[in-house]
Amino acid sequence: MIPWEKIDTAKIPGSDEELRLMRRGKEFSIKLGTNELMNNRLSGSEAALATLAAKQIEKVAKPVVLIGGLGMGFTLRAALTVLGSKAKIVVSELVPAVVAWARGPMAEVFGDSLEDSRVSIRETDVAEIIRARNSAFDAILLDVDNGPEGLTRKGNDALYNASGLKAAKTALRPGGVLAVWSSGPNPAFTKRLGSAGFDVNEVNIRATGRGGGARHVIWIARKKS
């Protein structure tokens, strides 16, 4: 068995926590303490975040999409595959080192996705982008922290509380979609989405995207007209 090798560490802004990038052969893992936040062999549910949201906006000729969290790029690469050539994708990543890892040790995992002309990378808190925009996006995809019950940063709660959902709704165009990834169910969050003025569909999906792996949850919340 090939042992795990620590490649790099990175502090999370606004937190005392530290991310660790680990590698074992061609397998990469990003960990926080004893928790594995992501692994390049388990990409199915993060990719589904993009494909399920894209289905909801397929009639939009020039969709503008905001992705919160670069991670290992699963959601971004899926979005590039399913969205048309006229799409614009803004990716917000809070931890600059994660972007550096994508261009460095994980470059083979990311391929040419970061150089795609449809993509722009912002090294900032996605909440700041959301709160600064009005009717700017056809879809907002959030794969931030561990979902509504975060692990890495207390400030992430502001994305998922009533105020954060109101801001997301304001940032969406009429009929726009807020898609949220989570490591598990959260009935209180489902209720908050409805109270915030969204039509909500909760999708359970395996981490691999097929029959295996942990059960994750994706909320597809459409802004009511």
State which amino acid sits at residue 80: L
pLDDT level of residue 153 (50, 70, 90 thresholds):
very low
Of 89, 81, 75, which is closest to residue 46 (Cα–Cα)?
A: 75
pLDDT in tens, 105-115: 999 999 999 99
pLDDT digits over 171-219, tens only?
Answer: 999 999 999 998 888 999 999 999 999 999 999 987 665 556 678 899 9
Beta carbons within 8 Å of 128's beta carbon, 6+ residues apart:
none
Tokens read off for 217: 């949850």
Q: How far apart are CA 209 and CA 59, in angstroms?
A: 25
Is 118 strand, coil or helix?
A: coil
pTM tops 0.85, yes or no: yes
Q: For residue 148, with 0-12 CB atoms within 10 Å meaning exposed, 13-18 middle and 19 or more buried, which class applies?
A: buried
